[in-house]
Structure 1
Amino acid sequence: MSKFYYGLITAVSILCFNLSVYAQQIMGYVHDADGKPVENATVRLEGSSNGTKTAPDGKFELPLPTAKAKLSIRAIGYLSIQEAIEKSSYQSGTIFTLAKDNRNLDEVVVSGTLKAVSKLESPIPVEVYSAKFFRANPAPTIFESLQNINGVRPQINCSICNTGDIHINGLEGPYTMVLIDGMPIVSGLSTVYGLNGIPQALIERVEIVKGPASTLYGSEAVGGLINVITKAPSNAPKFSLEAFGTTWQEYNLDLGGKFNIGSAQSLLGINYFNYSNPIDKNNDNFTDVTLQDRLSIFNKWNFARKDNKTFSVAGRYVYEDRWGGEMQWNKKYRGGEEVYAESIYTKRWEVMGIYDLPGSENFSLSVSANGHNQNSYYGNTPYMADQRIFFGQLTWNKTLKNHDLLTGLAYRYTYYKDNTPATDETSHTHLPGLFVQDEITFHPQHKLLLGARYDYNSIHGSIVSPRANYKWNSQDKSQVLRVGIGNGYRVANVFTEDHAALTGARDVVFEEDLKPETSWNANINYVKKFYSDNGSVFAIDASTFYTYFNNKIIPDYETDVKKIIYSNLDGHAVSKGISLNLDWAHHSGLKAMIGGTLMDVYSEENGERTWQMLTEKFMGTWTIGYNIKPIGLSIDYTGNAIGPMRLPVLTTKDEADPANNYIDPRPDKSKLFSIQNIQLTKHFKNGFEVFGGVKNLLNWTPTKGLPFLISRAHDPFEKIEDSKLPPFDPNYVYGPNQGIRGFLGVRYNLF
């Protein structure tokens, strides 16, 4: 009997022990914000070695050794969370929700390889900026919005008409290709004015590739490319409105909406911007900011097909009337010699479409066309130009085992005509091309991309552009290393790209027929993500770049202050540097993106090294935001810091007649400057938002501490005969000449 009771007691003890252990087990689920299970999330108890991974259904189980504990949950692509739990009150089966990390490595990008791939899988480093990023500092144009992106700087080129271009890693605007939905729409004449009419409300995201992309996109993509991706009608709100005004009396209105006709979905966007209040705070009798009246209309159609292939057509029309000049100017003085102004009328149309050919093979046809008409006067100098560009491209994508092949045929036709002495007759340029790339996957962690492009320019002949890129990622995909090398080329068109060739009183001189520029670029990119137990995600994105140019075209402002001399460099030029971006986000609503770039851009000729004009040695950017969820209030603090750059002064040294010497009182180097902004946004549950804040908090302008900004502003037509006076010149400018201003706006989205 004793053995029976002993056995019974032992069995009961074991059962009680097992029940005790089971009672100390916690079971729960991890889901994303859409309610979908998150697999392989790491779940552990702080202060202990107990941890586990979630199952495919998001389920996890852990022992609970104490009465109180803190549960930590993290997963790649999500913001980590921490939850305090108690054994006595914990309910088995609790669902824990992870918020998406908006800097997810798995975003879909198209700019690097001409096909949709996740950002993580792309061998080409592609930076992605969402529409939400740009809302932290609302602006009427994408040109102004890019000022808070590290390594990218909108450059103002004229203090009168405020034309500008976009520098990437210190290279001037003509080296940057701007695409809309992957199509080379913004080029030639529109490199100066074409970025001003892209409605912000229709932008889904902006993708940026730093470094040459000529292998896929051809000429102009030497410094990099900016691809503006517009919203698909299926993802856009039914109706959207954004309107704001500033204390300088600038007014901007964005309207958007979508509708269906049969199986087709359409997206319509209208942007109107007006600034009609001449201001002269630096007392030189010239407007500080260009007056503008601009209308832009965008329409996009997506057509449903039985085979689910793409058929999309879009169009845009932009009209702009802008002028800057002497405060007493009005239209009756246009083109005359009484009152100086730079008046530009721009009419621009664009159409673009993508059609995937039927059948089992992946053939896609992309077509675009645009026309740009410019009617302008720079004082009494007319510049009448007309440009039309047609572009067509057929691509084929094929996967064979571990090879992902992409090949294509491209053709670009450019018609150009203006009234400048350099354009004696209408220009017709034909540019057929062929490209091929092979993305080889050796291992889930190793990829190699090989590509080459051949173009035949009807003026300059054959051009070949090869490239190679390698990508490695860690097994958990928290680290990515990319190495690339490539060749680029660019055919220059001075009068459409360089505003200085038109404005002021300098004569334009060509010492020779300009040859295409060529370049070789090498770059290394490293990305690392860290996930902490306190619910934050920290990411490092570091790059180094080196570009070597032959035949570089550098305008010479210094040999003769009355001339701009253009020629190919008899030597070489270099752009090199390092760039670092730091991203931090916390589930509490606090986030920060801070970046900096150090660069050295110079030319070398006859053993003499020259620092490139209007190029900073370093720059920094930041975007810091905090979302106070309980009261629906967001705070955004954005800004940049731009280092010194060399400026085009007019100092002359006439050794034959020293009496004619002129010493420009303006410094030949700028000082460090910073543009900073702050914004508050109140979010309401019905999709309505009210936002307001202050731009240029420090009230910085390039006129600070200067005797004047515009040379010979008192005599713009040079009617005073005095050899000691410098020429009239408005090109001494390196930043926006607009001081502190408040803004207030509303935003509404109906889904």
Structure 2
Amino acid sequence: MKKYSFILLLFLSSTIAYSQNILTAVIKDSETKAPLIGATASLAGTTIGASANASGELQLTGIPNGTQVIRYSYLGYEDRLDTLTFPLAQTTPLVVLLQAGGEELEEVVISTTRSSRTIENIPTRVEAITLEELGEKGNMKPGDIRMLLSESTGIQTQQTSATSANANIRIQGLDGRYTQILQDGFPLYSGFSSGLSIMQIPPLNLYQVEVIKGSSSTLYGGGAIAGLVNLITKKPTDEGELSFMANLTSANGLDLSSFYGKKFGKFGITVFAARNANQAYDPADIGFSAIPEFERYTLNPRLYYCPSERTQLYFGVNATQEERLGGDMRYIDEHESGYYFEQNNTDRFSTQFNLEHRFSDNAILSVKNSLSFFNRDIAVPDYDFQGKQASSFSEVAYSLNSSRSDWVVGANLWTDKFSEQNATTVGARDYNNTIVGAFAQNTFTPIDWFVLETGLRTDYVTPAPANKSKGLFVLPRVSALFKITDRLSSRLGGGMGYKTPTIFTQEAENVTFRNILPLNTSQTAAETSIGGNADINFSTLIGNNVTFSINHMFFYTYLNNPLILTLRPDNLYEFKNANGYVDTKGVETNMKFGYEWIKLFLGYTYTDARQHYNGSVRNMPLTSKHRVNNVLMLEKEDNFRIGLEAYYFSPQRLNDGSKGRAYWINGIMMEKMFEKFSLFLNFENIFDTRQSRFGSIYTGSRTNPVFNEIYAPVDGRVINGGIKLNLL
């Protein structure tokens, strides 16, 4: 009996062993045929599964005989189900092609670097805020782009007025005047018009925001020492878009925005219109406005025309009008004399013309032109500053692309004229600048894993600054991309920059340009810089379902001849070049985890910015040395999104030598999507962090206040909510 039992057991064992089949498969992208490292395969109804190696190959073992269903998955790709009968007749590995799907792998094309490559293939380090993220940030602050920029690592928005909420952006610790803000490649917010700029740009008509940190003057001329921000607007599509947004805030604000865009054969049109308004808001109940009373209207129509497949052009107009009043709540409510106030009335008007003609699939000629007019009137008790700016920008560029090399060469002309109205006894601060520039850039891919980008720009500036007898600036730059593996890459780059002397700085804004002497350009040196950055980027799959990516960047900028505002013995201010230099160095780290519809973003910025003046060294004022970003996003596409945010700012040194307090800002954002509309609710600064909680924000009397520097929020907790309609 034992003998038969042994034979039966041996037979069953051999049968079971025979029925355990092995599947070998190689998983690739259906278009590029690149292996999908970390892609998974699983046997339906079992725990049998495996992940692909560096060659995209995997094996499933222990598969029973018969008909089985195999599921192949990879984040950002459509799942594939194959029904196979085991044992397989095929003995060679199966080749499984997955098709990209969803938004995770949507290509991000960058235009700011002038090469129009995807973000993965550009040597210059560019951060892109895409349409999805713009929608999230637009829910939190529909009236302007301040929050959109301030929640990125390495960028800090600095409020320059306690009562009118004016602010600028600081990249890697450098003052806002060293950052150039563009719209579709046009410099519409420079010089005098930089005032209040980020507070007057609603985000609803933006398609993408591209940020380059570090010296970028070679790309777009002077003023981009710290970096540049390019606001890319939406274009008309065949399907069309008609959207509206209405937003109410607990701080007595109302935002109304609308956008329409559509193609009609050879023509296309986009129209953006917005009204943003707020009543004066004093959450600390100290008698001064934390948010001023303002009313702003924005209109941006644009007409597109494509006479042929090779030629396209557009002409657009930007118009903004705003009245803004902050200060003592008694003055705002009653307009009675004797109380402190700060009134800003601004008018912006600009045109944009762009023509592109393709001589072939590889050769493109582009012609650009813009005219800009900006008027601003700043009034405080016993003083009124009024000025008008007229500027223009014209450019001709030619691009020639091949499989291994891309060339861009061109020339541009800038004019910038400022006229002060009703000049005081110090004299008019007028100026009339002209810059003629020529540039060339090459992007070369000698081998698949290495891309080199080199550029050279020469600008001729009149009137010439003191350190440039002929007004000539030569600006080289170089960037390199190393694709070490499919998951690991690195970028290295650097360049030179400059900034022509101007009175329109944060320090001058703080004193409303009062008692500042005219700038003597011939005796004032231009600010010049050299800097670079290096980063490493890695992405992988943790287990079968968790994606992980990390980007770590090192940066350094050296700024020579910094222009500072000094107080003379006669109580007049004048701008002088400091005896020394400024340098800023540090690191930025960004990590992202993803699991199905859950995403976690972690960011850290270390900024060591210092002023080396007159043989002494001190930390740059109003700059957090340590900054931490934490964002948890729960999102199901076309269904809902919930965002939790926490941002930490370390203590900042103030100009009087004292230190501000460290603080956290926390928020919650919720949105529910339906077929044609969505509802959103946002709790910003939910724990009511305010500088007025740390101490008084002014000294002196209410009728003659002296405001302290603003390093933390003054508006506190703000709740907003509204509706977005998508009718096409």
Task: Please classify the TM superposition score into its range, dividing by the shorter chain length.
Answer: 0.7 to 0.9
In structure 2, which of residues 700, 704, 713 is the aligned counterpart of residue 712 of structure 1? 700
The residue that corresponds to 2:3 in the other structure is none
Determine the C-alpha separation between the residues in 2 that align with 1:748 and 1:561. Answer: 59
In structure 1, which of residues 513, 521, 532 is the aligned counterpart of residue 542 of structure 2? 532
Determine the C-alpha separation between the residues in 2 that align with 1:221 and 1:296. Answer: 26
The reply on whether 1:351 has 2:351 as its aligned counterpart is yes
- Secondary structure of residue in 2 paired with 1:406: strand
Q: How does 1:653-668 map to 2 (within 5 A)?
A: 668=658
- Secondary structure of residue in 2 paired with 1:128: strand
Determine the C-alpha separation between the residues in 2 that align with 1:247 and 1:134. Answer: 22
Change (3 A) 1:124 1:72: farther
1:43-62 CA distances to partner (integer Å, 9 max, x unpaired)? 5458677859999xxx9997
* 8 A Cα contact 1:596 1:621, kept in partner: yes
Corresponding residue pairs, total:
686
- Write the letter of the residue equivalent to 1:741: V
In structure 2, which of residues 647, 663, 682 is the aligned counterpart of residue 673 of structure 1? 663
Determine the C-alpha separation between the residues in 2 that align with 1:520 and 1:93. Answer: 51
1:176-211 CA distances to partner (integer Å, 9 max, x unpaired)? 111111111111122222223333211111111000
Q: How does 1:93-104 map to 2 (within 5 A)?
A: 99-100=101-102, 102=104, 104=105
Determine the C-alpha separation between the residues in 1 that align with 2:195 and 2:79. Answer: 47
Unaligned runs of at least 5 residues, structure 2: 1-14, 89-93, 465-470
1:658-686 CA distances to partner (integer Å, 9 max, x unpaired)? xxxxxxxxx821111122210121111x2
Q: How does 1:335-346 map to 2 (within 5 A)?
A: 338-346=338-346
- Write the letter of the residue equivalent to 2:527: E
The residue that corresponds to 2:688 in the other structure is 699
Identical residues among aligned pairs (%): 20
**CA deviation after TM superposition for structure 1 residue 339, in Å:** 2.5
**CA deviation after TM superposition for structure 1 residue 247, in Å:** 1.3
**RMSD (Å), alpha carbons:** 3.7
The residue that corresponds to 2:457 in the other structure is 453
**CA deviation after TM superposition for structure 1 residue 606, in Å:** 3.1
In structure 2, which of residues 204, 207, 215 is the aligned counterpart of residue 204 of structure 1? 207
Determine the C-alpha separation between the residues in 1 that align with 2:455 and 2:427. Answer: 36
Determine the C-alpha separation between the residues in 1 that align with 2:76 and 2:210. Answer: 21
The reply on whether 1:580 has 2:589 as its aligned counterpart is yes
* 8 A Cα contact 2:26 2:52, kept in partner: no
**CA deviation after TM superposition for structure 1 residue 749, in Å:** 1.2
- Secondary structure of residue in 1 paired with 2:372: strand
**CA deviation after TM superposition for structure 1 residue 66, in Å:** 4.5
Determine the C-alpha separation between the residues in 2 that align with 1:714 and 1:681. Answer: 42
Change (3 A) 1:528 1:26: closer
The residue that corresponds to 1:108 in the other structure is 109
The residue that corresponds to 1:434 in the other structure is 438
Change (3 A) 1:245 1:39: same
Which segment drifts farther, 314-323 or 512-521?
Answer: 512-521
- Write the letter of the residue equivalent to 1:704: R
Q: How does 1:291-440 map to 2 (within 5 A)?
A: 291-330=293-332, 333=335, 338-357=338-357, 359-360=359-360, 361-399=363-401, 402-419=404-421, 420=423, 424=428, 426-440=430-444
The residue that corresponds to 1:683 in the other structure is 673
Change (3 A) 1:366 1:22: farther
**CA deviation after TM superposition for structure 1 residue 714, in Å:** 2.3
1:93-150 CA distances to partner (integer Å, 9 max, x unpaired)? 9997764464x59421112x21311111101010011232133342121123222111
The residue that corresponds to 2:642 in the other structure is 635
Determine the C-alpha separation between the residues in 1 that align with 2:217 and 2:541. Answer: 37
Determine the C-alpha separation between the residues in 1 that align with 2:152 and 2:551. Answer: 13
Change (3 A) 1:235 1:73: farther
Determine the C-alpha separation between the residues in 1 that align with 2:378 and 2:667. Answer: 34
* 8 A Cα contact 2:310 2:359, kept in partner: no
In structure 2, which of residues 483, 495, 501 is the aligned counterpart of residue 486 of structure 1? 495
- Secondary structure of residue in 1 paired with 2:691: coil
Determine the C-alpha separation between the residues in 1 that align with 2:552 and 2:437. Answer: 33
- Write the letter of the residue equivalent to 1:455: D
TM-score scaled by structure 2?
A: 0.85
Determine the C-alpha separation between the residues in 2 that align with 1:331 and 1:136. Answer: 34
In structure 2, which of residues 63, 66, 70 is the aligned counterpart of residue 65 of structure 1? 63
The reply on whether 1:130 has 2:130 as its aligned counterpart is yes
- Secondary structure of residue in 2 paired with 1:200: coil
Change (3 A) 1:698 1:81: farther
Which segment drifts farther, 357-366 or 342-351?
Answer: 357-366
The residue that corresponds to 1:279 in the other structure is 281
The reply on whether 1:616 has 2:624 as its aligned counterpart is yes
* 8 A Cα contact 1:30 1:38, kept in partner: yes
- Secondary structure of residue in 2 paired with 1:216: helix
The residue that corresponds to 2:713 in the other structure is 736
The reply on whether 1:544 has 2:554 as its aligned counterpart is yes
In structure 2, which of residues 57, 76, 79 is the aligned counterpart of residue 78 of structure 1? 76
Determine the C-alpha separation between the residues in 1 that align with 2:275 and 2:239. Answer: 20
1:57-81 CA distances to partner (integer Å, 9 max, x unpaired)? xx99977624899967565x72797
Change (3 A) 1:187 1:25: same
Determine the C-alpha separation between the residues in 2 that align with 1:584 and 1:61. Answer: 26
The reply on whether 1:253 has 2:256 as its aligned counterpart is yes
Determine the C-alpha separation between the residues in 2 that align with 1:730 and 1:486. Answer: 38
Determine the C-alpha separation between the residues in 2 that align with 1:27 and 1:462. Answer: 62
Determine the C-alpha separation between the residues in 1 that align with 2:419 and 2:208. Answer: 34
In structure 2, which of residues 482, 495, 498 is the aligned counterpart of residue 472 of structure 1? 482
Determine the C-alpha separation between the residues in 2 that align with 1:78 and 1:374. Answer: 48
Which segment drifts farther, 20-29 or 403-412?
Answer: 20-29
Determine the C-alpha separation between the residues in 1 that align with 2:28 and 2:639. Answer: 26
- Secondary structure of residue in 2 paired with 1:329: helix
Change (3 A) 1:21 1:415: farther
Determine the C-alpha separation between the residues in 2 that align with 1:301 and 1:29. Answer: 46
Change (3 A) 1:496 1:552: closer
The reply on whether 1:153 has 2:137 as its aligned counterpart is no
In structure 2, which of residues 219, 224, 227 is the aligned counterpart of residue 224 of structure 1? 227
**CA deviation after TM superposition for structure 1 residue 735, in Å:** 2.9
Unaligned runs of at least 5 residues, structure 1: 1-16, 650-666, 717-727
1:211-270 CA distances to partner (integer Å, 9 max, x unpaired)? 011001111111001111111111785310111111121111111112455521101111
**CA deviation after TM superposition for structure 1 residue 643, in Å:** 1.5
1:401-429 CA distances to partner (integer Å, 9 max, x unpaired)? 74322111010011111145666374221
Determine the C-alpha separation between the residues in 1 that align with 2:83 and 2:548. Answer: 26
Determine the C-alpha separation between the residues in 1 that align with 2:52 and 2:629. Answer: 39
Determine the C-alpha separation between the residues in 2 that align with 1:50 and 1:219. Answer: 50
The reply on whether 1:142 has 2:145 as its aligned counterpart is yes
* 8 A Cα contact 1:378 1:504, kept in partner: no
**CA deviation after TM superposition for structure 1 residue 701, in Å:** 0.9
Change (3 A) 1:729 1:71: farther
Which segment drifts farther, 228-237 or 538-547?
Answer: 228-237
Determine the C-alpha separation between the residues in 1 that align with 2:640 and 2:716. Answer: 27
Change (3 A) 1:617 1:235: farther
Determine the C-alpha separation between the residues in 2 that align with 1:731 and 1:492. Answer: 27
* 8 A Cα contact 2:535 2:552, kept in partner: yes
* 8 A Cα contact 1:233 1:301, kept in partner: no
